[in-house]
Amino acid sequence: MEQLSGLQITGAILWQFLPVWIALVIVLVGGGFIRGKLGLLGKLYDHPIGMIGLTIVLFWVFTALMADWIITFDPYTPVDGMKNKKPGWPVGGQEGHYFLLGGDNLARDVFSRVVAGSKTVLGIAPAATLIAFMVGITLGLPAGFFMGARDTALSFLANMVLAFPVIILFYLLVTRAMVQTGIPTYLAAVLFAFPIIFICTLFYTRFKTRPNELALYMGVTLVVGIWLYFSMVVTHIPNFKAPFADSYQVLAGWLDPIRPFSMDANTLNIFVAVVFVNSPTVFRIVRGLTIDVKTRDYVAAAQTRGESPWYIMLWEILPNVRGPLIVDFCLRIGYTTILLGTLGFFGLGVSPESPDWGATINDGRKLLLIYVHPALPPAISLMSLVLGLNFLADGLREESLKD
Amino acid sequence: MLQFVLKRLGVMLLTILCLTFVVFFLTNLYPNLERLAKTQGNNRMTAEQVESWLDGRGYNRNVFVKYGEWLGVVPGWTNEINGVPSGRCKPITGDVETAPSYCGVLQGYLGESTVFREFVSKIINIRLGLTGWLMFAAFGLMVPAALIIGVLAGMREGGKLDRSLSTFAIATSATPEYVSGVLFIVIFASSAGGLKWFKGSSTSAMDDINFGNFTLPVLTIALYGVGYIARMTRASMAEVMTSQYIRTARLKGVSFRGVVLKHALRNALIAPFTVIMLQFPFLLTGVVIVETLFNYKGFGWALVQAASNNDIELLLGLSIVAVIVVLLTQLISDIGYMFLNPRIRVS
């Protein structure tokens, strides 16, 4: 068998991504038909750069969701005789099978590893950013609204974390020794409580006077929240066997195809570190926006009506600052992706055989002057995903400013 | 004004105290100490040997006492290791008898590195100097480039030049150092790229900086920062260009060029000044990545060595320097902003 030419490789890769193309066409064309009902996202169709961003982001989302159909080989198993082979190299003994982007230093398929790596990134980055936002919002709203001692203390804490170089924090927090001490789990216990508190307060302030609906919404939130909390945090506390720990894990395993919910200790450690680094910045943004908005007339009107402070914060102020927050959310997922890559690049928290993009770049760079192909695909993938998110954020920002 | 600066300096001191204690606490957790004992002693030590190793060197004590020693408010430990008298302050004079009883940060002693077997202050001195050159060159490239891009883009908002320059700015801020560094090496230094203009390693730049061995790391650091500053400059420039006095100047018949250079530029550069100063903390992460990637043994490289070997005192020393740099730049940026922008005054 002969080595594939550049054109054949491109063709084969495009063919492998067929499910992604189909999904992309359905979503983008379908979205185009109902764009009038999509609000801000529908307006994005008028913004070419934003549209390019959305397409790239959706491409990677679908790739992560359908990674198991796209990969051509197992991303973890070495194949005999394929060490550092060039892209398009035929696999010995298997007719018609090629390493589309070549083999890495341990004779594994680079193409499949890049595709599998998208699962790690997209499984962690959006979820971690979301939790960081909930922490930042839950603390930033009261800090900006009440000011005073509470604000001074929280701001001091936030500035302290921000003054600490990210890289030192990662080296201290994301290590095997740290997992043994259980500190990441305790940190997770604190940070992961915020989403539950946030959503409960959200419903409580809204449905306070309507007990039936309140019971329904609060019940669902608490059941789902506490169950997720158990599966993510409590089962990880070292030397502590949570009651029904195994059943939680099994249930959590059924429910999620891209596994943000049932994490192993190392992933939890990474997740917590990333949330911890992002929360103070979100806190500062939300605090600043709240200080700006709380002097508006509709806040005064709500106060005159006798609404509680938390109702005003969550149902008057928060919806009115959503524009900048949505834009920052997109940018922050990109930044989190970069942070995850940094962690992988320094080999922190990832197992050596993990197909994580940052870790793969780090593996590939050692032989970069001789073999280019193992390091290049993950580098370009990471860049394109972050670029897509930045373009999307830019489009959303410009479209939301047009009103 | 003086009160403001004093208050800020007080908060700074408190922040440094808190952060160094956090670093101290985390590095002194038992699994980390065990790792330290095994890398310093030998890898096959039994649990008892680890214990006695840690006991002999004063690690197995209350973390607050140890932190006090490090600060210099508690007298340093003295002990006997294998019959030889030893102590925290011994390295200063080489002898326990003549060594001072207090030795800590307050006395100007940052301790001794366990990895390099040298005084922390000496290591910081050498490594910071090397990184200084890198930072200096990166800033020298990044700031002018970003300001020019930002001003050109913000001059005519929404124009073709603006669109292309803004897209470029977004693209650079989407390319972290470990991606752009790899791309640069592939294109400019590897045989696959074919150009081979520069070297893929900067080890030789530590003794002798030249175009071949220093361009790629500087370019890599500068590129990631350019986008952000350029976007801020663009936003500020675009805002200034819509203001009344620019319109007045235009209506009076001043040429577009004259308006941009004489009226808009000065006011448009106030906001980016803050952003430029606040780039320092981000540059630090970039420096660590680039120094690892290009094998340039500066501050970032020392940081990686200290952190991965749990070299407690070196890591603390490096953290102090890093945190002081970050906080000082924040302070300078605030004060500078007040001087540049007469509308803002501290109450």
Please name the residue of chain B whose CA is at the shortest distance from the CA of residue A386.
B174
Band of pLDDT at residue A247, cut at 50, 70 and 90 = low
Per-domain residue ranges of chain B: 19-109, 121-340
Asked if A361 and B182 come within 8 Å (Cβ–Cβ), the reply is yes
User: How many angstroms separate the CA atoms of A342 and A233, rounded?
Assistant: 25
pLDDT per position as a tens digit, A1-49: 677 788 888 888 888 889 999 999 999 999 888 888 887 788 888 888 8
B contact residues 295-324, partner A, Cβ 8 Å cutoff: 300, 303-304, 307-308, 315, 318-319, 322-323
User: How many angstroms separate the CA atoms of B304 and B292, rounded?
Assistant: 8
> In the prediction, which pLDDT does A115 show?
92
Of A181, A183, A379, the CB nearest to B182: A379
Q: Which residue is listed with tokens 């001195």?
A: B125
Contacts with B14 from chain A: Cβ below 8 Å: 156
Nearest CA-CA distance, residue B146 and chain A, Å: 18
Task: Judge whether B293 is closer than 8 Å to chain A, CB to CB.
Answer: yes
pLDDT per position as a tens digit, B196-226: 788 777 777 777 778 778 889 999 999 988 9
> In the prediction, which pLDDT does A258 show?
44
> In the prediction, which pLDDT does A260 show?
45
Nearest CA-CA distance, residue B323 and chain A, Å: 6
User: How many angstroms separate the CA atoms of A374 and A89, rounded?
Assistant: 13
Of B31, B190, B191, the CB nearest to A181: B31
Asked if B31 and A376 come within 8 Å (Cβ–Cβ), the reply is no
Task: List, as one string, the DSSP characters of B221-261.
Answer: HHHHHHHHHHHHHHHHHHHHHTSHHHHHHHHTT--HHHIII
Contact criterion met (CB below 8 Å) for B74 and B68: yes
Contact criterion met (CB below 8 Å) for A340 and A333: no
Asked if A49 and B167 come within 8 Å (Cβ–Cβ), the reply is yes
> In the prediction, which pLDDT does A79 show?
81
> In the prediction, which pLDDT does A403 show?
62
User: How many angstroms separate the CA atoms of B138 and B218, rounded?
Assistant: 5
Nearest CA-CA distance, residue A124 and chain B, Å: 18
Kindly report which listed range (A148-152, A210-214, A253-257, B11-15) carries the lowest average pLDDT score. Answer: A253-257
> In the prediction, which pLDDT does A244 show?
61
**Of A91, A73, A98, A69, nearest in space to A11 by CA:** A98
Mean pLDDT, rounded, for A223-236: 77
Mean pLDDT of residues grouped by 10 in chain B (347 residues)? 87 91 90 85 82 83 88 82 77 78 84 86 91 90 92 87 91 91 87 75 78 87 90 88 89 89 84 77 86 90 90 90 88 80 58
Asked if B200 and A178 come within 8 Å (Cβ–Cβ), the reply is no
Interface contacts (A, B; CB < 8 Å): 136
Contact criterion met (CB below 8 Å) for A222 and A204: no
> In the prediction, which pLDDT does B347 show?
45
Please name the residue of chain A whose CA is at the shortest distance from the CA of residue B29.
A181
CB environment B87-108: b (16+ within 10 A), e (fewer)? bbbbbbeeebeebeebbbbeee
Task: Judge whether B39 is closer than 8 Å to chain A, CB to CB.
Answer: no
pLDDT at A259 over 50: no
Contacts with A6 from chain B: Cβ below 8 Å: none
Contacts with A181 from chain B: Cβ below 8 Å: 29-31
Kindly report which listed range (A53-62, A70-79, A285-294, B125-134) carries the lowest average pLDDT score. Answer: A70-79
pLDDT at A239 over 70: no
Asked if A164 and B19 come within 8 Å (Cβ–Cβ), the reply is yes
Nearest CA-CA distance, residue B285 and chain A, Å: 6
**Of A122, A8, A13, A21, nearest in space to A71 by CA:** A13
Band of pLDDT at residue A275, cut at 50, 70 and 90 = very high
Q: Which residue is listed with tokens 């002194």?
A: B28
Give residues with Cβ within 8 angstroms of B266, minimum separation 6: none
Q: How many Cβ atoms from other residues are within 10 Å of residue A20's Cβ?
A: 23
Band of pLDDT at residue A181, cut at 50, 70 and 90 = confident
Phi-psi region of A371 (alpha: psi -120 to 50; beta: other; left: phi over 0): beta
Backbone angles phi, psi at A181, to 5 degrees: -75, -15
Task: Judge whether B190 is closer than 8 Å to chain A, CB to CB.
Answer: yes
> In the prediction, which pLDDT does A281 show?
92
Task: Judge whether B174 is closer than 8 Å to chain A, CB to CB.
Answer: yes
Please name the CATH architecture into which domain B121-340 falls.
Answer: Orthogonal Bundle (1.10)
